[in-house]
Each structure stands twice: as C-alpha cells, then as structure tokens.
C-alpha cells in the first residue's frame, strides 16, 4: 500500500523539484532575466489566489466575489508588519494569512447563510466595504496606498507558498472534510440531512481560502513595492474568478493551468489592456455557454505512476 502511494506521488515530487531547479538554474545563469522572474512570481501569486478561490467557489460551491478583499487584508497586514514593526518575512506571511482568515471568519459566518447569487453580491459588498475602509484609513496611506521598501518576495518564497497551498488544499479535499465540502456543493439539503454540519464546513472552506488569499496578498505587497486600495477592487476579484472559471470549478490542476495561461495572456496584451479585458469577457461568455464546467471541469491532471519494481514479479513491499 505504502509502496503504491510512493509510486503515485513520486512523479509529482519529481515535477515539483524539477520545475524549481530549472527555473532557479536558468535564472542564476541569467537566461531568465528580472522581467521573466517578476512574471513567474505573478504566476505563482495567481495560482495561490486561483486555487484558494476554487476551494470556496468550485469545491464547496459557495460563490464568492470578494476574494480580492482578503488579499487586501493580507497585503496591508504584511505591509504594516514589515514597515512599521520590522517583522521577519516568514512571520509576516503567517500573520497576513491569519489576519485574512479572521476577516474570512467574520464575513463568512453571517453571509454563508445566503445562497447562490445573493452570496455572490454580499461577498462583493464586503470586498467593496473593505476597500472603502482602507481608503479612509490614513495610517496605511489612504487612497494613495502604502509603500513597501523591503522586497522580500522572491521566486523561492513564491514557489514554496504555491506548492504549500496546493498540497494543503489538495489534502483537505482528499480528507473527510473535503468530501463534506463537495457534498455541500452537490446538494446542500441532502448533505445536511446526511448529518454534515453545512455551516461549519462552508465557513471552514471560506477561512482556509481566505488564509491563502492573505498569504498571496503578503507576497504581492513585497513584490510590487506598493499596496493601494484600488489594486484590490472588484476587477481583481473578477480576474481571480476568471482563473477559476476557465480552469474548471472543481479542478486544482485546471486553476494552475489557467493561472499560468491568464498571466501569460496579460503579459502579451500589456500594450493593449482594453483588448485583454474584451478577450477575457468573451472567453467567460463562450466558456459558460459551451462548456459551463470550465476547460478542465472537475477533472485533474493525472501523471502516470512510476514503477519502482526492479524486476518482473519481484515482491518489494509487504504483500
């Protein structure tokens, strides 16, 4: 059994380490320049945001439109802790995530009683309220935003956090808790009559998703030098939503692929920002009309299991 588990996990381990080594080495050799690296960092942050929103929207079926709000909480917490209190970066990452999780709890408890489109609008409302509060808070620079001079975010941190997010959310989904979340998505009333505490699991998924959005916010704040309330508006929430919807609501690997694709498209379309938004909106409409589950649906990419057996018929593990 254990053997089989290793054989299934090993390809992913090789892929994870391999991508890390390739990017680190090429960046050290100067093949990938700073411009490439900042885009890779953006991809990582997008993956964290997309996968964490997918946990809420795709797997638990609670349609949230306020993900940028939690990112903002993380970004501001991170900026305050490093700039005003001189916290080390790992502590900042943890605190940013925790702060976003607490806000997620406060927002999630009342709003998750709502369903479907009402929940979407309520979370959108909370996101906007958070933004207005940051605009009116002079301690963090008001509408002008807050400058972060420490550029702690580098490829290694982003990669570590991205991998951590994927592993934690994947393992959560493979556990009994995750199955409860998926059951709530499929049919909330049926799940509740099977004895699942629907409020508990909806709030739990919301908190976990918010935590990682907060972590992404901290990474964002220390990668771009400045956090402004305007960068975490409704538009940002929709950008994250596009990643989830295009990749597939209920597919982690779909979100990862979509985050990479969307970031690359944004980079290519930098000279024509409006055309990019037109393209996104057309993609949203077309995907919803023709493939409402998103490109990957609820499927995940499977890597073939590596066989560790040396010879045919030889017993390696315990039978």
- List residues binding another protein (CB under 8 A): 63, 110-111, 113-114, 116-118, 120-122, 124-126, 128-129, 132-133, 135-136, 189, 234, 238, 241, 245, 274-275, 277-278, 280-285, 288-289, 292
Q: How far is the CB of 258 from another protein (least distance, A)?
A: 14
Contact 297, 247 (CB under 8 A): no
Decide whether 163 or 183 has the Cβ nearer to another protein: 183
Q: How far is the CB of 189 from another protein (least distance, A)?
A: 5
100: which residues sit within 8 A by CB, 6+ positions away?
70, 71, 73, 74, 77, 210, 211, 213, 214, 215, 217
Least Å distance between CB 125 and another protein? 3
Q: At what angle do helices 176-186 and 155-174 cross, to 10 degrees?
A: 70
Minimum CB–partner distance for residue 245 and another protein (Å): 6
CB of 74 to another protein, least distance (A): 20
Contacts of 26-34 with CB under 8 Å at 24 or more apart are 27/155
Q: How far, in Å, CA of 63 to CA of 4, rounded?
A: 37
With beta carbons less than 8 A apart as the criterion, state whether 284 and 270 touch.
no
Shortest Å, Cβ 5 to another protein: 35
Residue 242 φ then ψ, to 5°: -60, -40
Q: Which of residues 111 and 251 has its CB atom nearest to another protein in the complex?
A: 111
- Euclidean distance between CA atoms 306 and 304, whole angstroms: 6
Contact 205, 59 (CB under 8 A): yes
103: how many CB neighbours lie within 10 A of its CB?
23
Q: 121 or 226, CB closer to another protein?
A: 121
């Amino acid at each position: 059994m254990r053997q089989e588990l290793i054989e299934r996990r090993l390809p992913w381990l090789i892929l994870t380490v391999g991508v890390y080594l390739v990017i680190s080495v090429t960046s050290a050799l100067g093949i990938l320049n700073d411009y490439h690296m900042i885009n890779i960092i953006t991809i990582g942050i997008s993956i964290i945001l997309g996968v964490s929103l997918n946990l809420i929207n795709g797997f638990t079926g609670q349609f949230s439109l306020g993900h940028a709000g939690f990112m903002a909480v993380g970004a501001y917490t991170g900026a305050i802790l490093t700039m005003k209190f001189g916290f080390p970066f790992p502590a900042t990452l943890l605190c940013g995530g925790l702060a976003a999780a607490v806000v997620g709890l406060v927002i999630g408890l009342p709003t998750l009683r709502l369903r479907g489109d009402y929940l979407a609008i309520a979370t959108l409302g909370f996101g906007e309220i958070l933004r207005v509060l940051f605009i009116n808070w002079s301690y963090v620079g008001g509408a002008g935003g807050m400058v972060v001079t420490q550029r702690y975010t580098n490829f290694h941190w982003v990669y570590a956090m991205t991998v951590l997010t994927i592993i934690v959310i994947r393992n959560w989904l493979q556990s009994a808790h995750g199955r409860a979340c998926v059951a709530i998505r499929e049919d909330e009333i049926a799940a509740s009559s099977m004895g699942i505490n629907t409020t508990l699991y909806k709030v739990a998924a919301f908190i976990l998703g918010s935590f990682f959005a907060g972590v992404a916010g901290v990474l964002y704040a220390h990668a771009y030098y400045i956090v402004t309330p305007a960068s975490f508006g409704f538009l940002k929430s929709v950008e994250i939503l596009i990643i989830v919807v295009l990749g597939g609501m209920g597919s982690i690997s779909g979100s990862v692929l979509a985050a990479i694709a969307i970031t690359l498209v944004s980079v290519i379309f930098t000279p024509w920002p409006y055309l990019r938004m037109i393209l996104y909106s057309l993609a949203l409409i077309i995907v919803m009309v023709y493939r409402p589950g998103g490109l990957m649906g609820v499927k995940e990419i499977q890597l073939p299991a590596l066989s560790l057996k040396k010879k045919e018929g030889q017993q390696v593990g315990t039978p």
